[in-house]
Amino acid sequence: MDEKTNLIIEFSLVQVTEVTSSNAMEYEGCKRTLNSIIKKKIPIRCLTTDRHTTITAKMRTNYSNIVHQYDVWHLSKWVTKKLSKKAKKKDCQELLPWIQSVSNHLWWCSVTCEQNADVLREKWLSLLHHITGKHCWRASKEFTLVKKCGHPRISRKDQKEIVWVENGSPAHVALEEVITNKKLLKDLAKLTEFHHTGELESYHSLMTKYAPKREHFCYNGMVARTQLAVLDHNANVNRAQAEVKKGSKQGEKRFKIVCGKQRKNWVAKEIKTPKSYSYVEGMMNDVILCKKGKKFKYKPKIQAKCIAPTPKPPKQDVIEKRLSNKQK
């Protein structure tokens, strides 16, 4: 997906038999797609992905001319998951009301770091001071650039009403273990440009309409269904927010109230203008022309029908083997 336009410009379908394991499929798909875009001489300045270790390593060695960034949402999700697990402990329940704020803080650090990894790291670690009610501190080995919180001054009344976490308490120690995680601190350097893949997640949701995960499709069927999903997405991306057409609220932006799956809280979401399917008519015309032999002839790609590495044995042999194992 192109981040500026939110259009899907390329995709790649990988079958598990083509690689060594299911984990290797993600990098293989990424590699094929990148190479295809590069071959078409489309410049790539930056690529944003999740924290897949193989992709991270290969981007560093094979695509060193492309800036590699992580999706803020994925790191935020990791932090939230770890803190939620810690907060379930009896002596760490103080963390629970702070989890969403910690997640928001990570996003804020990425937005305001001005592409400076050191500033981002220090702003992130400043959370250890803020959560105890301390908002200014002296310069130290860990804090050379950031010496105070970035929020406005908190009034005395609010300072007393907020339930701070005591420094050195089990909850504070648990928080420190999560936010000072070595891999996390290293990965913060890939959040300096503040990229996130929210629109791509929306496309993945749309993809399940054309290719439900509970159903099996052949390789060529999967290609066709992915193409349909891309056409649908690209034809309707960046739709405007719908407005009220009649009544006293005419012209106002429309919203719907939904309950979030993860946080279980009610939130307002924009209602978009109706989708357009004008591209379908052109597809139908092409199908007719293909049938008449006036368009290109489709040449399906032949893939293995079964992911098993060995040929299918006779059914009776497999049954006898199972019965034999039971007797043993």
pLDDT tens for each residue of 267-292: 888 889 999 998 999 889 988 888 88
Q: Which residue has the tokens 């992915």?
A: 226
pLDDT of residue 292: 85
Is 207 part of any domain? no
State percent of the chain over pLDDT 70: 96
Please compute, for residue 283, the number of CA atoms within 13 A of its CA located in the half-sphere on the CB side. 9
Is 320 part of any domain? no
Average pLDDT over residues 290-309: 72
Is 87 part of any domain? yes
Q: Which residue has the tokens 């098993």?
A: 308
Is 95 part of any domain? yes
Q: Model confidence over 218-263: pLDDT tens digits? A: 888 999 999 999 999 999 998 999 999 988 888 889 999 888 776 6
Q: Is the pLDDT of residue 324 over 90?
A: no
How many domains is the chain partitioned into structurally? 1
The rounded mean pLDDT for the chain is 90
Is 23 part of any domain? no
CB 142 within 8 A of CB 122: yes
Is 46 part of any domain? no
pLDDT of residue 172: 95
Is 47 part of any domain? no
Is 84 part of any domain? yes
pLDDT of residue 266: 84
The pTM of this model reads 0.84
Residue ranges making up the domain that contains 101: 72-189
pLDDT of residue 35: 96
